[in-house]
Chain A
Amino acid sequence: DAKTTQPPSMDCAEGRAANLPCNHSTISGNEYVYWYRQIHSQGPQYIIHGLKNNETNEMASLIITEDRKSSTLILPHATLRDTAVYYCIVRVASGGSNYKLTFGKGTLLTVNP
């Protein structure tokens, strides 16, 4: 399985961009990178996903390196409400047409006033 490595915690000032890194050096060519976040005591929330092109939506941007061995989630203007655990996940095929998403420990992003 392609595993991911994330820093356990990061800080960011309110209003600044938050850049959350993720290493996935064993990723295969057809495996997608997904990002979710979990605000304290709530269920995880989907943010964005991508294969090899950079992606942007209303929540964030996802930058994937050309070799696909790492990616960065960017929250362009972090707010206090963005304080959460952010999970970087590689979607792995698990037989037939099934896939597996394995949630690691993620990065606790704390946005400070």
Chain B
Amino acid sequence: NAGVTQTPKFQVLKTGQSMTLQCAQDMNHEYMSWYRQDPGMGLRLIHYSVGAGITDQGEVPNGYNVSRSTTEDFPLRLLSAAPSQTSVYFCASSYSTGEKLFFGSGTQLSVL
């Protein structure tokens, strides 16, 4: 029973590089989301999805892309990394929107 799995746990990028943060859940949840957490701040919603093929923007979507081709996976893409994207990223899922969220263990990203 893995729950929500995020990879990698740590990543260092140079400015301008691209990468994809992976998120997978095995609970057949319809709702999936990405948050970022910066020091001393709460979690801010980047993008979310209410089902396969459906995505929408959260509070801070600029610089990030998402897609949802399957129920299980919700990858987050940084097309051209910037130092301002240095943060800890959390993926979360729930049975449906507004239900209790299950979080992954996070990805710590540093952009130099």
B110: CB under 8 A from chain A? no
Report how far A36 CA is from B45 CA in the complex, Å: 16
Within 8 Å CB of B106, what residues of A?
Answer: 41-43
Minimal Cβ-Cβ distance residue in A for B42: A103
Chain A binding surface SS class: loop
Partner of A91, one of B4, B98, B103: B98
Count of A-B contacts with CB under 8 A? 46
Q: Which residues of B contact A (CB under 8 A)?
A: 4, 35, 40-45, 50, 88, 90, 92, 97-98, 100-106
Most chain B CB neighbours (cut-off 10 Å) among A32, A49, A100, A103: A103
26 contacts between A and B (CB under 8 A): A36-B101, A41-B106, A42-B105, A42-B106, A43-B90, A43-B92, A43-B104, A43-B106, A44-B101, A44-B103, A45-B103, A46-B101, A46-B102, A49-B100, A91-B98, A97-B97, A98-B50, A99-B97, A101-B98, A102-B42, A102-B45, A103-B35, A103-B44, A104-B42, A105-B41, A106-B42
Shortest C-beta distance, A82 to chain B (Å), equals: 18
A interface residue count range (under 10 / 10 to 19 / 20 to 34 / 35 or more)? 20 to 34
